Every structure is written in C-alpha cells, then in structure tokens.
Amino acid sequence: MDEPIAAGREADVFALGADRVLRRYRDGSDSSPEAAVMAYARGLGYPVPQVYRVDGPELEMERLDGPTMADAYLSGNLTSDEAATIMADLLRHLHSLPARSGDGSIVHLDLHPDNVLLTARGPVVIDWRNAGDGDPDFDTALTALILAQVAIGSIDHDIGADAGAMLDRLLAIVPGDPLGKLDEVVAFRAAQWTMSAEEVAALPVAAARVRGDF
C-alpha cells in the first residue's frame, strides 16, 4: 500500500482510489464500536462519512473532498467566529441525537477544527474513535479544553493563540453548562494515552483559559 495521505496520533489514512479511503489503527484496535456509532449517527441525519467495510483495526470509508476547518482557517477562508459557529452547530446537532442506551446523547469526545471537513455538502465530522453515549456538557467542555490547549501552546498547532478567539466565541453560543464539567474533562484528558507528559502538566493552565481566568 502507498504512503498514507493523512496521519494522526493513533491511525493512518490511505487512499483507495478516488472515492474511498482506508483508516487503520496502528495498535490493532477493533474499529467496530466506532463504526457502529457512526452508522447510528448517520442514520439519524448527522454528517458522518459512510462506512463500507469494517475489519479489525481497519475502516473503509467514503473519501471526502474538502479542507479541514483548521486548514480553511489558516488559508483565510474561515474566520474564528465562523469556525466557532460551525463547531457549536455540530455539537448542538450531535447532542440532539438520543443515546443508544437511553441516557444522555451521542457524544464525539474529540470534536475540534482538525476533525471537521468542509465539503460541498457541508461540514462533516470525522474520527469517531472516542464516540459513544454520554453527557453533552462533558463533550462540549472537552472541545473547549482542546481549543484552550492549542491557545496556550501546550498542543503545537499552526492555529496557535487564535484558538482562544474560537474558544471564547464557542462558549458564548453553546447551550448547557460545559464549565460545570471542566474538572471531570481535565481528568479524562489527563488519562488519555495519546497525551504527552508536558501536555498533561499544562492542563490546569488550559482549564484556567477555558474559565477565562486570564
């Protein structure tokens, strides 16, 4: 197989012609739970890539045409207010989907500008590895914390401090009480194995940025 066309902290993405891609987890994790959440959300009208095949760590999905929201912002085609509005709308729509367990809603737990593709049919959310049933405010607080990590520089990203403007606008327009879940989200984020020791150490500063303490 050729070199990946994209790579994240956990998986690589390979092109399978013009219409499909293959996402493969490096640790061999089972991708079927992720595919199940995607199918459920897609069936309720949420913008999710179509999954064609699931085989252990591999997901064969439709290939989407369009930049990530992060790339659109960096190229000057999207403002911070527009980016925040898109994220807020996506979170609001997602949290309107009933949880499969009957308690809470569907949550993504990694919704940020690199995981939203701007396609001809509108924004589409990718990377559903952490998704499942959960608390909407927790999900929103996690998006806010990730933006804060970028804003303070603990996550190295070209958006840099501009993520702070996205964060402030997001918190101004999202429903619920995400700040009430922030301590739980910090603990959750600290336990994620993809986080470096330096990133974990900076989480209290990121949480303070979410709260607007500086």
Q: What is the pLDDT of residue 1?
A: 56
What length is written for the chain? Answer: 214
- Based on the fold, state whether residues 83 and 118 are members of the same structural domain: yes
Q: Whole-angstrom Cα distance, residue 80 to residue 70?
A: 10
Same domain, 34 and 77: no
Tokens 């996205």 belong to which residue? Answer: 166
Confidence at residue 169, expressed as pLDDT on a 0 to 100 scale: 98
Q: Does 46 lie in the same domain as 90?
A: no
Q: Pairing relation of β-strands 11-16 and 20-25?
A: antiparallel
With a cut of 50, list the residues of the chain below it in pLDDT: none
Encoding tokens for residue 90?
Answer: 């996506």
Domain count, the chain: 2
- Whether residue 53 is found in the same domain as residue 102: no
Are 180 and 206 part of one and the same domain? Answer: yes
Q: What's residue 158's pLDDT?
A: 97
Q: What is the pLDDT of residue 43?
A: 98
Q: Which of 142, 88, 141, 109 is nearest to 37 (CA)?
A: 109
The kind and range of the H/E element at 20 are strand 20-25
Tell me which residue range forms the domain holding 22: 6-62
Q: Is residue 1 part of a domain?
A: no
C-alpha distances in angstroms, 53 versus 45, 48, 111, 156, 177? 20, 15, 23, 33, 38
User: Which amino acid appears at position 113 of this protein?
Assistant: P
